[in-house]
Structure 1
Amino acid sequence: MTHPYQVPQPPKRRTLRTVLIVVSVVVVLCCGGAGVGGFFLYKGVKGATDPARQAAESFVSHLEAGEPDAAYELLCGDTRGGYTREAFAQGVAKQPKIRGHKVDGVNVSSVNGRTSATVNMALTLDSGFTDRHTFMLVKEDGAWKVCGQPY
Structure 2
Amino acid sequence: MITVTNPFEVPQPPRPQRPWKTILIVLGVVLVLCCGGAIFGGYRLFKGVQGATEPARTAAETFVTDLEHGDVDAAYGLLCKATKAKYTLETFRDGVSKQPKISSHAFGGVNVMNYNGKVSATVVLVLTFDTSFTERHTFPLVKEDDQWLVCGQPY
Tell me the TM-score range normalised by the shorter chain.
Answer: over 0.9
Match of 1:77 among 70, 77, 81: 81
Q: Which residue of 2 aligns with 1:65?
A: 69
Equivalences for residues 1-151 of structure 1 within 5 A: 4-151=8-155
Number of residue pairs aligned between Structure 1 and Structure 2: 148
Rounded Cα–Cα distance in structure 2 between residues aligned with 1:124 and 1:31: 43
TM-score, length basis structure 1: 0.94
Give the unaligned 5+ runs of structure 2: 1-7
Deviation for aligned residue 1:7:
4.2
User: Offset at 1:91?
Assistant: 0.6
Percent identity for Structure 1 against Structure 2: 58
- Opposite residue 73 of structure 2, the aligned amino acid is D
SS at structure 2 position matched to 1:51:
helix
Quick one: distance in 1 between partners of 2:117 and 2:40? 30
Q: CA deviation at 1:80?
A: 0.9
**Offset at 1:67?**
1.0
Structure of greater Rg: 2
Give TM-score scaled by structure 2 length: 0.91
Q: CA RMSD in A?
A: 1.0
For 1:37 and 1:82, how far apart are their aligned partners in 2? Answer: 45
**Residue number in structure 1 paired with 2:3:** none
- 1:17-49 Cα offsets, whole Å, 9 max, x none, are 111111111010000011111111111111111
Deviation, 1:8, is 2.2
**Structure 1 unmatched runs, 5+:** none
